[in-house]
Chains A and B, each alone.
Chain A
Amino acid sequence: MLAAVLAAIVFYSFRQSGAELQSADVFTARYNLRLDSFRHRLDVLISQLEPTGNKKKPDIAQLNQQYWALRLAFKRWEYLAEYKDAQFVKDNVNGVPLPKPERNSFGLNTVEPHGLQVMDEAAAEMVKPEQRLELLAQAKVLQEKLNQYRPDFRIYPSDVFEASRQAILRALSMGLSAFDVPGLGNSLPDTREALLAVWEDLQYLGTIAPHAAFLAMQQKFPLALAYLEQHNDFDRFDRAGFTRDYLLPLYRLSGEWHRAAGFELPGERRSQPVAVNYADDAVFSDGFLNAFWYSQLPAGLETPEMKELGRLLFYDPILSHDNQRACSGCHAPDKGFSDGLPKSLSGDRKSVVQRNAPGLLNCVYSERFFHDLRAESLIDQQEHVISDPKEFNTDYFKIIEKLSGSSVYQRMFREAFPEQGDAAMNAQNLRLAIAQYVAGLRSFNSGFDRWIRGEIRDIDPLVREGYNLFMGKAACGTCHFAPVFNGTVPPLYQETESEVLGVTENPNVRPLKMDSDPGRGAGKLKESAPYYMHSFKTPTVRNIVATAPYMHNGAYPSLESVMDFYNRGGGIGHGLQVPYQTLPSDKLGLKKREIEAIIAFMKDLEDNPFRASVPESLPAVEAQPALNNRKPGGVF
């Protein structure tokens, strides 16, 4: 009897094991079918665009229809394709329509943009014969690349789960904001199609791994799809409500279901960490992105001892050559870790430094640092400040020499790096401790965060409208990506973007002049490209209310002045010559109330729990008593 039961269980488990492998066959076959369909739609469009020789006028309505069919076919294929080979899709199929330096090259070589986003700009003007020819030429380039593409993989349930969450993030941050349709502008049908493919695959998973979370999804997912179908007005779409009521719950359910079903989790599939913390189910939260991925610091180093050491060093002017200036001098906790000046005062107190001091709250969520993106990590970033003649004007050797004269610092270094003993006080650990402190300046508990997470019921309707505009009509969200609202690109959040805006030298001085700062174009040697001239890092708008004045040169005193600049179409919109401006140059057409709403939303994103971090006193330096009257935070 027992044997029979055991046999039955074994049989059942084998049958179900088979079901999992069978599901991989199904997902893989679906993937290839979607690819075939995408290829087929491309072939059809090409055949329709191909000049026929006769004088008959082309049927524009039919061409538009073919183009839309191509987009939808792409969107069905996109979510697993992006998940499996994001680089292929970005390089060849749906990359940003801007030139960029060739990756890993031997010199500065430019890769011209190709793919669907370039095609979209041409398709928006389908009536023009030259745009139809451009569309045809671009379609053929895409066709050739797709012919080289050989998907060699199988798709397993765990892939579908993880990819589904990426797809939800893509919808939330890019799909609803028309990120990848620079020409036609309405991305809501695309977004629906992408989610539809996700739902098709999740439903199949539901047949082999039923679970409560799947049952909840069966309620939610069709409603989300129906909502997208019924609300197709891009400018009026309620992104805040849709995100709160559908996308975020679906993101959470997908994760819950994945874990409960027992399929392997991403950490079991790859040895390299990624930026998105899969275990966290809330997108608008501190746990969503893995700060250690960005800070390049080992997670095990974040001990209380290490944090305290980093905090003291951040506020200690001993780091500067004259023992007068600390990091906090330009990054003050009561000003969102900026300094309220257009440009910070130099160490000599006569001149100013090159650019505006950025706020540091949530700055860790970035792949690159400084307005010109020249530093690759918070660890590397410090050296520029320490050695700059206008800033700390010193070097690590001199700093360590001074710190070595303090028994308190000696002890704190030993405690922060216990395995290194007396050797712990060194430049490497100094860098790590300061980077650790800055990386710890994170907060995701603004009113808007708590509302969208569902923790509070009510929100000011103006803030809600502000988010909808920010992520929609005003197009802020196409560069300030949710949920950090900075230039770190979803859904992987591993790459930081910069933009050419055409910022003026002074918006109040006529005639207007473009700011001459070359920005990224003179940041890293390998990026000294014409299209990076005057390009600057996209900072977060979280806590932005505390960090006025704005832009890399601090020339914009208020959020109103910044909104006015964007509303008019950046530098070009102001009549300036801005080659390679990445901001759309047409006016946004925002009304006064709409601007107020966007500002209300940004103000609502204020959340700074670190205001009272300045230490009361600093460690004594027995070897140099003259240093003992230095003030926490330094003197300015």
Chain B
Amino acid sequence: MAASSALLTAQIPFPVNIDTAWTAKTVWMPKSPLKQQVIFTGGVDVVKTTATYGNAAGQTYAKQWHDFIGFTPDKTSSGDLGWVSVNHEMTQRNDYVGDGGGMTVFKLKRTDGDKLDVVEQTLADGRKGKYFNVDFANTVGETGMNCGGITDRASGRIWTAEEWLQTSNRTFSNGGANFRDTSNFTIGVTAPAGFPGFNGKVIKRFQNVNWMVEIDPVNAKAIRKQYNWGRAGWEGGVVLPDNKTVFLFEDGSPGILAKFVAVTAGDFTSGQLYVYKQDAPGKWITIENNLDTLLELNTVAVRRGASMFNRLEWGAYHNGKVYITETGRDQFTFNSGNAKNGVISKGLIDGYKARYRVITGNSFPGTDAQAADSVRNGRFFDYYGRVLEFDLATNEVRSFLEGGPFFAASTSQVRTAGYPMVHLSNPDGLDFMTIKGKTYMIIQEDLNGTSFNRMPAGVTVVCETYLLDMNVSNPSLADLVRITACPPGAEITGAIAIDSKTMLINSQHPAVTNTPPYNNSLTYAISGWDGTPALSNDKFFDGTATFTVYPNPTARELHLSRRMDVAIYDALGKRMRVERDVELVNVSDFTPGVYFIRNTEGETLRFVVE
């Protein structure tokens, strides 16, 4: 009987228990050079509030649903780094912090080593504490669904964006559950500085959301809604180094790309607004500074033939170019209603042609105009999205990096060679970071789904963060380096590098089974980037001739020398994980200790997680 059961377990390549005594070779997984630190937790940390809706100034728990992170350097005291501004992407009635969404600000300091502290502050309005609610309700009017925003790297100025374009007071207010006030809003009555040219104009309450809103993080107050930049489903933007030009990205489908050029550097209250139209002379069409036009910017722009994008998200400037994420959408058409007037952006034409090649195995045989027609008529299933590159010298936009798992040998019916290691899907957050003198693009995913190989089959949603070395010319997905330093299952947003050591990241709605506080929305710092080994996918394998692995301590991954099935065993030789058809094993949740990795040939390596 015993013999037969022994044979039974011997029939599988990865028995439940193995004898580890024979393992010859040991691979070391060094400690990660990166350290995580939670610095702000929604629903747990307390924010100091101003007098609002008849309630006295006081305190309450911070809102959740963290999204964008802005950073404003402020080194007034030793060790100070600056002010962090965090968006809350939600709409909820709140007696103390104001209805709708909102923002929280706090000041960070670096103490010994890489450790960060939130510093207690006293604001000009007398509020004293660590975390402060940004006052919108008593200044420029409430905000809602604060998603993306802008950090002007040169000045540290911050704007917050409000997505989810509102179209009526009824849904906006939702019976008072989202916003209690549905009375008309008069511009410039409560804002300290008002807004020249718009003061005194009366708009419906729901029309006072979906603007870019500038805030003053140091005083935790809003400054102005940027009426002259237009009202649209803004998600992100970027202030160019001239401190006059602002690019604005709309999360819509069709979404528009806009540009504001100030008369005077640093003064964004007067200037000219433009919308991108790739086939216009000069590529931009001017938008008059008229509130009626600005209230309906998308409609007006598309009616005038603007270039139509498929959900623009975040962007950043680098080396004469603006890089913008276009997150994509599973199914869309631009052949009805107002969209008939717009032109299909070059990025979508590039994307369609790339996808055509994958699906059919052949290059798209037609012209760009024919490809544009296919996109317009809903023949393009934009599952993965892309990163766009806008060249400031030529005013041309192109697909810089197409998302997707693009298989090397995709023909229509043949099973592909296997799931690619890198699968960039629905890019959302974008920033640049300099690590040891090299510039990297940081790209964050926000998945629209898991189907069509956006995630390996059977894997639940994990929105990943990738780094791309900007010295790589004509990059492909293979050049992306995955970083996995985040709580499992979290949708991570808002990545911003605050210096060469530290990146801040928001985790919006983490996996349900994480231990507190990881089950709340939180902002955390990943520090130690200046101490990371080379960030690349180059591998220096270590092992035996048939079975070699390469530990990547930064990504917490064991890279395998080829695609294979492997099993991981604990120190006692008990099987704990089986990975099929993989090129890497993610060990980010492994506690330090001894493990074994075995392949289907029965060969085993010991690896030590430090």
Question: Using Cβ atoms and an 8 Å threshold, which residues of chain A touch B252?
Answer: 106-107
Q: A151–B405 Cα gap in the complex (Å)? A: 12
Known interface pairs A12-B10, A20-B11, A87-B451; A152-B407 also in contact (CB < 8 Å)? yes
Contact, CB under 8 Å: A87 / B449: yes
Contact, CB under 8 Å: B602 / A17: yes
Q: A149–B459 Cα gap in the complex (Å)? A: 17
Q: A429–B453 Cα gap in the complex (Å)? A: 39
Q: Chain B 74-103 against A: per-residue CB contact (8 Å), 1 yes, 0 no?
A: 000000000000000001000000000000
Contact, CB under 8 Å: B512 / A293: yes
Contact, CB under 8 Å: A528 / B171: yes
Contact, CB under 8 Å: B359 / A264: no
Known interface pairs A103-B449, A153-B457; A16-B11 also in contact (CB < 8 Å)? yes
Q: A292–B575 Cα gap in the complex (Å)? A: 24
Question: Using Cβ atoms and an 8 Å threshold, which residues of chain B touch A525?
Answer: 91, 145, 164, 171, 174, 178
The answer to the question of A98 belonging to the interface, with a C-beta cut-off of 8 Å to chain B, is no
Contact, CB under 8 Å: A148 / B516: no
Question: Using Cβ atoms and an 8 Å threshold, which residues of chain B touch A83?
Answer: 458
Contact, CB under 8 Å: B11 / A209: yes
The answer to the question of A514 belonging to the interface, with a C-beta cut-off of 8 Å to chain B, is no
B317 to chain A, nearest CB (A): 23
- The chain B residue with its CB closest to the CB of A209 is B11
The answer to the question of B541 belonging to the interface, with a C-beta cut-off of 8 Å to chain A, is no
Contact stretch, chosen from A265-273, A443-451, A565-573: A265-273
Question: Using Cβ atoms and an 8 Å threshold, which residues of chain A touch B419?
Answer: 152-153
- The chain A residue with its CB closest to the CB of B93 is A387
Contact, CB under 8 Å: A13 / B61: no
Q: A107–B235 Cα gap in the complex (Å)? A: 12
Question: Which of B331, B405, B512 lies at the interface centre, i.e. has the most chain A CB atoms within 10 A of its CB?
Answer: B512
Q: A149–B413 Cα gap in the complex (Å)? A: 10
Question: Using Cβ atoms and an 8 Å threshold, which residues of chain A touch B515?
Answer: 298, 300
Question: Using Cβ atoms and an 8 Å threshold, which residues of chain B touch A184?
Answer: none
B63 to chain A, nearest CB (A): 11
Q: A32–B91 Cα gap in the complex (Å)? A: 46
Question: Using Cβ atoms and an 8 Å threshold, which residues of chain B touch A102?
Answer: 329-330
Contact, CB under 8 Å: A271 / B602: no
Question: Using Cβ atoms and an 8 Å threshold, which residues of chain B touch A300?
Answer: 515
The answer to the question of A85 belonging to the interface, with a C-beta cut-off of 8 Å to chain B, is yes
Question: Using Cβ atoms and an 8 Å threshold, which residues of chain A touch B586?
Answer: 271
The answer to the question of B9 belonging to the interface, with a C-beta cut-off of 8 Å to chain A, is yes
Q: A379–B517 Cα gap in the complex (Å)? A: 13
Contact, CB under 8 Å: A152 / B405: yes
Q: A264–B145 Cα gap in the complex (Å)? A: 43
Q: Chain A 273-311 against B: per-residue CB contact (8 Å), 1 yes, 0 no?
A: 110000000000000000011001011100000000000
Known interface pairs A270-B459, A272-B511, A427-B61; A106-B602 also in contact (CB < 8 Å)? no
Known interface pairs A87-B450, A106-B164; A397-B578 also in contact (CB < 8 Å)? no
Question: Using Cβ atoms and an 8 Å threshold, which residues of chain B touch A105?
Answer: 329
B590 to chain A, nearest CB (A): 11
The answer to the question of A216 belonging to the interface, with a C-beta cut-off of 8 Å to chain B, is no
The answer to the question of B439 belonging to the interface, with a C-beta cut-off of 8 Å to chain A, is no
Contact, CB under 8 Å: B174 / A428: no
Q: Chain A 300-334 against B: per-residue CB contact (8 Å), 1 yes, 0 no?
A: 10000000000000000000000000000000000
Which residues of A, 394-448, contact B by the 8 Å Cβ criterion? 395-397, 426-429, 432
Q: A621–B418 Cα gap in the complex (Å)? A: 64
A368 to chain B, nearest CB (A): 13
The answer to the question of B142 belonging to the interface, with a C-beta cut-off of 8 Å to chain A, is no
Which residues of B, 442-482, contact A by the 8 Å Cβ criterion? 446-453, 456-460, 462
Contact stretch, chosen from A255-263, A341-349, A498-506, A586-594: A255-263
Known interface pairs A91-B449, A522-B175; A264-B575 also in contact (CB < 8 Å)? yes
Contact, CB under 8 Å: A396 / B61: yes
Question: Using Cβ atoms and an 8 Å threshold, which residues of chain B touch A21?
Answer: 13, 565, 600
Question: Using Cβ atoms and an 8 Å threshold, which residues of chain A touch B412?
Answer: 147
Contact, CB under 8 Å: B10 / A427: no
| Cβ-closest 9 pairs across A and B | A264-B578, A16-B11, A296-B512, A88-B451, A272-B460, A17-B13, A87-B451, A13-B10, A106-B251
A-B contact pairs, 19 of them (CB 8 A): A106-B165, A106-B235, A148-B381, A151-B457, A152-B407, A153-B456, A153-B458, A261-B11, A262-B11, A264-B14, A268-B576, A268-B577, A268-B578, A269-B458, A270-B460, A292-B513, A293-B513, A397-B60, A528-B174
Can you name 18 extra interface pairs (CB under 8 A) apart from A149-B452, A269-B577? A13-B11, A36-B413, A91-B449, A104-B426, A107-B164, A153-B419, A153-B457, A264-B14, A264-B575, A269-B458, A272-B462, A274-B460, A298-B515, A395-B60, A396-B61, A397-B60, A427-B61, A428-B43
Binding site for A on B (CB under 8 A): 7-16, 43-44, 59-61, 91, 145, 163-165, 171, 174-175, 177-178, 233, 235, 251-253, 255, 311, 329-331, 359, 381, 405, 407, 410, 412-413, 415-416, 418-419, 426, 446-453, 456-460, 462, 488-489, 511-517, 519-520, 565, 567, 575-581, 586, 589, 600, 602
Binding site for B on A (CB under 8 A): 9, 12-14, 16-17, 19-21, 28, 32, 36, 83-85, 87-88, 91-92, 102-107, 109, 111, 147-154, 156, 158-159, 208-209, 211, 260-264, 268-274, 292-293, 296, 298-300, 377, 379, 395-397, 426-429, 432, 522, 525-526, 528
